[in-house]
Structure 1
Amino acid sequence: SKMENLSAGEIELIGKWIDQGATETPVPPYVDLQFRTTALADAEVNVAYNLGLVVWGGLPPYQFSLVGGSLPAGLDLEPAAGMIVGAPTAAGSYDFTIRVSDSQTPAATLDQAYNIQVLDTQAHWQVPSGFRIENVVSDLYLPVNIAFVPNPGPNPDDPYFYVTLLYGEIVMVQRDFQKQTYASGLLNFSPTGEFPGSGEWGVTGITVDPASGDVFASMVYEDPPQSGYVFNKVERFHSTDGGRTASTQTTIFSNVYAGVSHQIQAVTIGPDGKLYVNIGDGWIPEAAPDLSDFRGKILRMNLDGSKPDDNPFPDSYVYATGLRNPFGADWRAADGKLYISDNGPASEDRLAKILPGEDYGWRLESPDLTTGAIFLWTPTVSPVAMDFLENTPFPPEYHGELFVGLSGPAYWHGATERGKKIQRFQLDADGNVESESIFLDYVGNGKATVIGVAFGPDGLYFTDLYGENGFDEFGQVHGNIYRIRWVGTNATAPDLILPTISQIRIDSVSTSLPSAFALQNYPNPFNAATRIRFALPQDSEIQLTVFDLGGRLVHELFNGSRSAGNHEVIWDGRNREGKELSSGIYLVRLRYRAEKSETGAAGAWSQTVQRVTMAK
């Protein structure tokens, strides 16, 4: 069928529907109410829980109410939004019934029974006896590394630490674990991609200058923009509001080619006040020993990005060579030396003590990573961030030990012997490993893993990059920051400060054959994309089309035949020429007719229209 704009009559009718408060403009008779969310995700004690109930049919808007049983303590049902939100305070199994009512007169209603299993955090992560693990910050989009504020203030709203978010932000977290954006828009390209793969590019390392409070962060950028050529750089951020937000941003080092995941990594400030920068080999092994190429190196620079006069190689940033993908780094107080984690290709990862001017042997083959190694992991475990325990209140036998995060295979589901752990190392006076053991182990059944590791004044903190559920259907991740504290073998952990709550939508779609035609979308409003769902009770010829409020055709999403059942199409907010549309209200129309009537002829066209709001 030929694509066309909406007629004046159609626009008038749709306007009346919208004026009456409908978010969907269905064609009567209305579809029976259906709960599309039929099962609820498990919850975790003191971790933000945010789940939206998806309902089809009837006449929106809907009202939700609890008509049987009880929600877990700490969770509430929002009656208009159908959101279950909060942070449960006690583990257990909870049964309850929720009723949805639509806007018809009289209202149609439907009840749905649910169960939520609330698990203790210890059910996912195991730590030694006497330690307590707590989720202190939740709903972070790919949190990577943590840097604590030196000598933080005592007030609840004082800046406590910073965390890099892979896809272009730095977040400041207060002492009371409330969070706010410190800097955003740090990437000049869209970083989304596969894990493992191009999705691993972004903002990684972070450190804070004890003297000025300035934040240094490592990241990548495209040059020129949209060219696909990606480079490494270091940015310096200065704050004029006590470290809460960045007021200025300065590039102090740049123009080094990056490779997917083998990019710039940790940044640290040494005892000498210089900035040390870990850079991966960019998947070019021959770059690692080449003094004219900064890939596969540890670099040393002044805090303004200039070259120190006393570097081991004259007129060069290079401090050490021969590294493959050195993700983590930290300084040991006992010997004043830099230690790093280096990711191998297949069979070996290494822990190494870095000495100025040394070549650590990486060329191409796995045995190359034995050079300078004080510990080798075989098979590989993907060692990431690391930190020495110096002043945190842990038992005396832990002090001076090195704690290393092991992220494991990228985007692995469930527990694995090859990562999702924190390993502790006891070193001798010369920096050799005397003993090692697993301190933290993931035993859950989700995507969670360890990336950032940092000791704070009150415990060991680590970032969970993906959260339990990993990427949702809109490409979002709800990562976490956990704290591990020593509470004693007979002590009870004090009350926790609950993390900030934010909305996450989770749904389970029924596979039963629909009883009538229906059209809905979510999220609504939306930003990057929305899923448009339509139900067909019989094989039909359909046209799924987007219009603006003036009735002008924007995009035809589908035109053809579909079988009976529930279907969905993702619209990315672009017109038929592929150009991004501005924020506003748009109309999605589903026209449908049976492919053949009882007489064998094509049926008459019917339609339903959904109003969608795009907010950018």
Structure 2
Amino acid sequence: MGAYCTPRSADAQPGSYQVGNTTVSVSTLTTGRDTPWELLWGPDNFLWMTERGGRVSRIDPATGVVTPLLTIADVTETGESGLLGMAVVPTPGSNQYGVFVVYNYTEGGQLKEKLVRYQYTIGTNALSNPQVLLGNIPAQTTHSGSRLLLLPDNTLLMTTGDAQDLPSAQNRSSLTGKILRLNLDGSVPANNPVAGSLVYTLGHRNPQGLARAASTGKLYSAEHGPNNDDEVNLIEANRNYGWPNVEGLCNLPAEQAFCQANNVREPLITWTPTLGVSGLAYYDHPAIPDWRNNLLQLSLKAGTFSALPLSANGEQVLRENNLWTGTYGRLRAICVSPQGRVYVGTSNRDGRTAPGPTDDRILVLENRAFTPTSVTKPVALSLTIYPNPAPANATATLQLPALRTRATALLTDARGRQVWQGEISGGTTQLSLPPAAPGLYLLRLRTPDGAELRGRIMRP
């Protein structure tokens, strides 16, 4: 382990930490949250958050202002159950996103779990049109997972816990104790490991973290052990992760026999006693060089923020560096922004500890001295608009620099609220502007290689 460790204080004041030669500052973005479960960096450049009681919100990363979108009425929050993981997916050719959430609900007196897709229309600050994609999954007040992760091929991974039915984790006909892979309409991808089955991997106890390394495409999960062997796993299609027959490594005679017979993938790293591993994210940004090609791992019981350097091929965890242990109490939600900032949600109102007066909080970790390179630094946009000021429903002609790829275009008002999103090519492009109120609007174009171009549009 690394040497970074400070005394536990559930409402400690943010400060700074040294990571190699980099000073990482910690500040509070927002307070008074109730058990944040998921944090995502959304396609609208806002943070998206679920809270276990059922609320979905957007957070302005510049101001910390929280805008609730929906409190889901049939969420059952009891024990560790409630509103859990989320994924936000733009709908091509529209001003809408698909918002996927996993949550526990009660039906016929039984606790269950389902995956639901909502519709978000830019500018409405609301979710609508719920569609159940997957339901009737057995659940308990513990061991229900669940994280969601969108893959580049527009399929979705979903983790499920064993719901305290341990043998179900080895039963391919059960959806518990698994990582599932499904299309965005809930159907089974044609290239899943077993035809007609959502099961991507099996033998999981309670996966609480899920991440993908952009550099290698490899997938990782963080998983609770019983009283021993919390795990971080390298996720490979159709592999077995051992539970309940194997705890941690294949190091006992009975475990070794099971592992050899059942295609078991051993974890990359384990912890005994357990930490209560939770949120997991991949970091590979120049803002904090010592965290490049690292997994960032949170824990609940120990309250650790750990950096786990990976080998170049992503198949080994080289060591564990703890930035802190216990300083901010229980930690669950984590995400990384395109600017290299790390956002962390505390979980001190989850019933397992005494919360501090400002809990729960969203913390921001950043290198404030970092200066983006010329590739990522915003540059002036050569923009010609006819007419300008542009009345509602006008068609504008945009003259842009040559772009290697299509750029994502975002139109925001003077308060930073997004009113439109689309894709634009370089050169001369015709843009049909959406209806909008009078005022000044900012058009931002972002390319996949990190370049950002900006221009202003006036609406009379």
CA distance in 1, matches of 2:243, 2:308: 24
Name the aligned partner's letter for residue 180 of structure 1: T
Deviations 1:241-273 (A, max 9, x none): 347321222211111101222114100011221
- What is the SS of the residue equivalent to 2:32? strand
Cα displacement (A) at 1:334: 2.2
Select the residue among 130, 137, 147 that pairs with 2:30. 137
CA contact (8 A) 2:34 2:349 kept: no
CA distance in 2, matches of 1:272, 1:287: 29
The two structures, once aligned, show a CA RMSD in angstroms of: 2.8
Select the residue among 280, 298, 304 that pairs with 1:386. 280
Count of matched residue pairs: 339
CA distance in 1, matches of 2:10, 2:210: 34
Cα displacement (A) at 1:368: 6.5
- What is the SS of the residue equivalent to 1:286? helix
2:65 maps to 178
Q: 1:277 to 1:402 in 2, by over 3 A?
A: same
2:161 maps to 280
Select the residue among 87, 91, 113 that pairs with 1:232. 113
2:440 maps to none
Select the residue among 70, 88, 98 that pairs with 1:214. 98
What is the TM-score with the length of structure 1 in the denominator? 0.52
Name the aligned partner's letter for residue 116 of structure 2: E
CA contact (8 A) 1:143 1:465 kept: yes
2:147 maps to 266
Q: Does 1:168 align with 2:50?
A: no
CA distance in 2, matches of 1:330, 1:177: 25
Select the residue among 413, 417, 433 that pairs with 2:317. 433
Deviations 1:519-578 (A, max 9, x none): xxxxxxxxxxxxxxxxxxxxxxxxxxxxxxxxxxxxxxxxxxxxxxxxxxxxxxxxxxxx
Q: 1:173 to 1:367 in 2, by over 3 A?
A: closer
CA contact (8 A) 1:341 1:383 kept: yes
Cα displacement (A) at 1:471: 7.5
CA distance in 1, matches of 2:185, 2:24: 41
- Aligned-pair identity (%): 22
Select the residue among 129, 137, 144 that pairs with 1:256. 137
Structural mapping, 1:80-479, within 5 Å: 120-122=13-15, 128=19, 130-150=23-43, 152=45, 160-175=46-61, 176-189=63-76, 191=77, 198-211=78-91, 213-224=97-108, 227=109, 229-242=110-123, 244-364=125-245, 366-367=247-248, 371-391=265-285, 394-408=287-301, 419-428=302-311, 429-443=313-327, 448-458=329-339, 459-466=341-348, 478-479=359-360
CA contact (8 A) 1:471 1:477 kept: no
1:36 maps to none
CA distance in 2, matches of 1:315, 1:147: 30
Cα displacement (A) at 1:364: 4.7
- What is the SS of the residue equivalent to 1:324? coil
Deviations 1:288-329 (A, max 9, x none): 111111110000000011111111011110000111101100
CA contact (8 A) 2:193 2:237 kept: yes
2:446 maps to none
CA contact (8 A) 1:466 1:477 kept: no
Deviations 1:112-169 (A, max 9, x none): xxxxxxx7423xx8664611101101111111110111252xxxxxxx0111110111
Q: 1:314 to 1:145 in 2, by over 3 A?
A: same
CA distance in 1, matches of 2:230, 2:66: 34
Q: 1:322 to 1:239 in 2, by over 3 A?
A: same
CA distance in 2, matches of 1:373, 1:457: 29
Q: 1:241 to 1:266 in 2, by over 3 A?
A: same
- What is the SS of the residue equivalent to 1:376? strand
Cα displacement (A) at 1:345: 0.6
Cα displacement (A) at 1:188: 4.6
CA distance in 1, matches of 2:327, 2:227: 24
Name the aligned partner's letter for residue 171 of structure 1: S
CA contact (8 A) 1:274 1:302 kept: yes
CA distance in 2, matches of 1:188, 1:268: 21
CA distance in 1, matches of 2:288, 2:345: 23
CA contact (8 A) 1:187 1:202 kept: no
CA contact (8 A) 1:321 1:360 kept: yes
